């Protein structure tokens, strides 16, 4: 398991899951198992199917950190049950970002490591 510090969020990434720990201690656990219907999403965005779930929550944290946010508003909303009104924009950005990274040959785990060290 690898741990990244991105903004105020701590991300534990490995062993088939991503655990995002928010600044207030709330956790979001995301299993990497492929679910029904995800193959079409992966194909639409050009994301290898085995990376779709593996990179997804990590990408939320990376984008939030790059934007100067302490943590992903969407993941914070998931943790609290009080969804951020613009969650769909963040989801679209995450999927597009993951597809862009895949097309450009960028490993998001390596990017997270660089950003974590830089912070």
pTM of the model: 0.95
| pLDDT tens digits, one per residue of 35-83 | 999 999 999 999 999 999 999 999 999 999 999 999 999 999 999 999 9
| pLDDT tens digits, one per residue of 92-108 | 999 999 999 999 999 99
First to last CA, the chain: 20
Q: Do 99 and 46 form a contact (C-beta atoms < 8 A)? A: yes
């Amino acid at each position: 398991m690898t741990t990244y510090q991105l903004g105020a969020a701590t991300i534990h990434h490995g062993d088939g899951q991503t655990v995002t720990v928010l600044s207030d201690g709330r956790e979001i656990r995301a299993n990497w198992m492929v679910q029904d219907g995800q193959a079409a999403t992966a194909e639409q965005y050009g994301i290898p199917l085995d990376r779709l779930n593996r990179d997804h929550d990590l990408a939320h944290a990376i984008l939030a950190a790059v934007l100067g946010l302490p943590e992903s508003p969407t993941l914070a909303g998931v943790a609290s049950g009080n969804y951020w009104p613009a969650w769909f924009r963040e989801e679209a950005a995450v999927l597009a970002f993951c597809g862009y990274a895949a097309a450009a040959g960028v490993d998001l785990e390596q990017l997270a490591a660089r950003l974590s060290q830089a912070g």
